[in-house]
Amino acid sequence: MDSGDPFSLDEPMKTPSVRKSGMATSRWRGAVFLDRDQTLNIDHGYTHLVDDFAWMPGAPEALAQFHRHGISCFIVTNQGGIGRQFYTDAQMQEFNDHLMAQTVLAGGHIQDITHCPHHPEAPTPAMQTPCECRKPAPGMLLELAGKWNVDLTESVMIGDRESDVIAGRAAGCHAYLFDGSDLSGLARQVIDRHFTGSHGGDNV
Ligand SMILES: [Mg+2]
Ligand SMILES: [Zn+2]
């Protein structure tokens, strides 16, 4: 037995979803919200075909790093191409499934993906903006935070556009603009600044 264990054992066991009369009582924690196109995968313009999938530089390593640190990752993505009828919701799902599978192969995990199908030039009124979800609006982050007990003030949004940063800040998160060069370098910075302290003991 190691008597120098710095962690006290009287802390309650972490039970992910203890339910009391239907209410989740799991602790609210920070998370990372990621834009999809040109942040995780290269954007060819309304990217939706699995054959067109390719990682942005450092993206698989970044996802693996977040996972190693126990940080939940979510994708929040504007998919106005659905509203414009350039591709279907099912095609986007297929692309997202592929992205999630590739993430697992890279040693990462994406907890959930939310998309906004709306667009100013959508031919049908129901698919037109304004809506609460299209970034720079914070709707997608707020939705995921409620669904997964995410503490937005402890969370970080990362994306390649100013609208990603604005959405993140509007949701109360820290936000970083990704310049496209190396997502794993940015991930390391984000982990050091926002997650290492609160995870006491992590020093990977
Ligand atoms: Mg983008
Ligand atoms: Zn929307």
What type of residue sits at position 3? S
Q: Which ligand is nearest to the CA of 127?
A: 2
Q: Which ligand is nearest to the CA of 40?
A: 1
> pLDDT tens, 113-124?
999 999 999 999
Residue 136 pLDDT > 80: yes
Q: Is 170 helix (H, G, I), strand (E, B) or coil?
A: helix
> pLDDT tens, 164-195?
999 999 999 999 999 999 999 999 999 999 99
Q: Can you read off the two tokens belonging to residue 199?
A: 């995870």
- The mean pLDDT value of the chain amounts to 89
Among 26-30, 56-60, 179-183, the range scoring the smallest mean pLDDT is 26-30
What's residue 26's pLDDT?
64
How big is the chain by its Cα radius of gyration, in Å?
A: 18
Q: What is the 8-class DSSP label of residue 124?
A: S
What's the whole-model pTM score? 0.85
> Is 52 among the catalytic positions?
no
What's residue 27's pLDDT?
77
Mean pLDDT of 138-159: 98
What's residue 11's pLDDT?
43
Measuring CA to CA, how many Å separate 96 from each of 36, 83, 90, 151, 170?
Answer: 9, 17, 10, 25, 25
Q: Give the chain's domains with CATH numbers.
A: 27-196 (3.40.50.1000)
Could you list which residues have their CB under 5 Å from ion ligand 1? 35, 37-38, 160
CA of residue 81 to ligand 2 center, whole Å: 12
CA of residue 38 to ligand 2 center, whole Å: 19
Please give the share of the chain, as a percent, with pLDDT higher than 90.
82
Question: To the nearest 5 percent, what fractions of the chain are helix, strand and coil?
Answer: 35, 15, 50
> Is 160 among the catalytic positions?
no
Q: Which ligand is nearest to the CA of 118?
A: 2
Residue 3 pLDDT > 50: no
Q: Where are the alpha helices (DSSP H) in the chain?
A: 59-68, 80-83, 89-105, 139-148, 162-170, 183-194
Cα angle 194, 188, 161 (rounded to 5 degrees) comes to: 80
> pLDDT tens, 62-102?
999 999 999 999 999 999 999 999 999 999 999 999 999 99
The total number of residues shown for the chain amounts to 204
Distance CA(176)–CA(194), nearest Å, equals 12
